Amino acid sequence: MNVQLPVQAGPWHNLPKIELHVHLEGGFSLEQVAHLAKAAGEPLPKPLDELYDFTDLDSFLSLLDWWCGLVRNPEQASGLAYDFAKFLSTDNVVYAEVIVNPTHWRGLKRPDLLQAVSDGFDQAQADGFCDCRISPSLLRQQSAEEAMELVEELDHGRPKRVVALSIDGNQAVPSAGNARFITAFKAARESGLGTTAHAGESSGPEGVRSALDELGVQRIDHGVRAVEDPALLRRLAEEQITLNVCLSSNTALLYHDINRHPLPRLLEASVPVTINTDDPMLLATTMSREIELATSLCRLGINEVVAIMHQAATAAFCEPRRSNELHSLIDQWATNIKRHHEHPSKDSTS
């Protein structure tokens, strides 16, 4: 596939970036969607240039259902994974944990999908592109049995790139509680998987608390509505729970004005945060763009951005050796950039 990649050069382009909250389903370009629809013989539900005009989380999730459903064979899924890793590399994202929710991909059996995505990521890394790991995700509406089925499948055999169990979707649907997922998350932990959950986006602070207490997750995707509860904010800081924050996504779907985003308050409360894109193609964003948004919203300098990137390396679910490599890459960049500032003629880093 010939993919148009929204490359942006900017102050953060050369920083080796780590992304912990990004969905493969939100990484299709319009061109890829048109290509898949044509191959599947399906008409577009609306003109291509209006396809990304969603108004809320539900219409957004339905869109993902539609286009992931256009994927009918493993080769297509591998190709999409490959292109996505390549896209991340154009912005110098060196490591990403990519959420893949099999419920969106109705044209493929779950193990085939995960294997195909893993193969695509293997090939991409072999070609020098981003090291992408996989976090298979449950959908909020699934049953306890469906959740256990996924975890048992992962326990019996999974591609090495699979590092975590995730849960995403609309937290505001009826029966969105976590109680029926307790066993599946416990089994995932026992199987050696990391655990993360979408919460504090379409749910309030109670969603975050429940993800921690009932599911025992180590990280929270979004989690931003924790600011509505000062005691919870203190807990997140004390227990060093990382929130994987996505400014553009929260602005599009939740706050509708970036100046209302609570990232400054999260930082002020010393809650560990990372910066992420969530669904980069749909939201027309990149990691560099999200960092730029964060620096202007919170008046961050290089040291603070470097600290946030180190936080991502610390919270990553990869093996410790890889995490140490990521810390070193960030440090090398920081050292170079400082040397460049002290001796501008000697080096050019950014």
CA distances from 174 to 9, 149, 199, 216, 265 (A): 43, 22, 15, 22, 30
Q: What's the count of helices (H) and strands (E) in the chain, helices before strands?
A: 13, 8
Out of ligand ADE, Zn ion, none, which partner does residue 122 contact, by CB within 5 to 8 A per kind?
none
Part in contact with Zn ion (CB under 5 A); list of ranges 61-69, 155-163, 274-282, 333-341: 274-282
Task: Work out which of 119, 278, 290, 292 binds Zn ion, going by CB under 5 A.
Answer: 278
* Rounded Cα distance, 32 and 6, in Å: 13
Part in contact with Zn ion (CB under 5 A); list of ranges 114-122, 127-135, 169-177, 275-283: 275-283
> By rule CB under 5 A, what string of x and - marks binding of each residue 220-259 to Zn ion?
----------------------------------------
- Ranked by CB distance to ligand ADE, the top (closest) residue is 168
Q: Which is nearer to ligand ADE, 37 or 254 (CB)?
A: 254
What's the length of the chain? 350
H or E element: which one contains 182?
helix 182-190
What are the residues binding ligand ADE (CB under 6 A)? 23, 25-26, 57, 168-169, 198, 201, 249, 278-279
H or E element: which one contains 67?
helix 57-68
CB 25 to ligand ADE: min, Å? 6
* Rounded Cα distance, 97 and 339, in Å: 31
CB 169 to ligand ADE: min, Å? 5
Nearest to 144 by CA among 179, 99, 95: 179
Q: Which is nearer to ligand ADE, 122 or 221 (CB)?
A: 221
CB 3 to ligand ADE: min, Å? 20
Is 292 one of the annotated active-site residues of the chain?
no
Residue 152: how many other CB atoms lie within 10 Å:
12
Angle at CA of residue 283, ends 219 and 246, nearest 5°: 25
* Rounded Cα distance, 250 and 230, in Å: 20
Q: Which is nearer to Zn ion, 91 or 278 (CB)?
A: 278
Q: Which is nearer to ligand ADE, 283 or 309 (CB)?
A: 283
Q: Which is nearer to ligand ADE, 28 or 333 (CB)?
A: 28
Nearest to 265 by CA among 290, 245, 251: 245
* Rounded Cα distance, 326 and 92, in Å: 13
CA distances from 258 to 246, 252, 265 (A): 11, 9, 13
Out of ligand ADE, Zn ion, none, which partner does residue 207 contact, by CB within 5 to 8 A per kind?
none
Out of Zn ion, ligand ADE, none, which partner does residue 161 contact, by CB within 5 to 8 A per kind?
none
Q: Which is nearer to ligand ADE, 266 or 313 (CB)?
A: 266
* Rounded Cα distance, 226 and 234, in Å: 10
Q: Which is nearer to ligand ADE, 65 or 155 (CB)?
A: 65
Contacts of 3 (CB under 8 A, 6+ apart): 29, 31, 32, 83, 86, 87
Residue 163: how many other CB atoms lie within 10 Å:
20
Out of Zn ion, ligand ADE, none, which partner does residue 26 contact, by CB within 5 to 8 A per kind?
ligand ADE
Given 25, 201, 290, 292, the catalytic residue: 201
CB 231 to ligand ADE: min, Å? 25
What's the N-to-C CA distance of the chain in angstroms?
31
Out of Zn ion, ligand ADE, none, which partner does residue 201 contact, by CB within 5 to 8 A per kind?
ligand ADE
CB 30 to Zn ion: min, Å? 20
Out of Zn ion, ligand ADE, none, which partner does residue 19 contact, by CB within 5 to 8 A per kind?
none
Residue 125: how many other CB atoms lie within 10 Å:
16
Out of ligand ADE, Zn ion, none, which partner does residue 91 contact, by CB within 5 to 8 A per kind?
none
| DSSP-derived pairing of the beta strands 164-168 and 17-23 | unpaired
Residues designated catalytic: 201
Binding site for Zn ion (CB under 5 A): 278
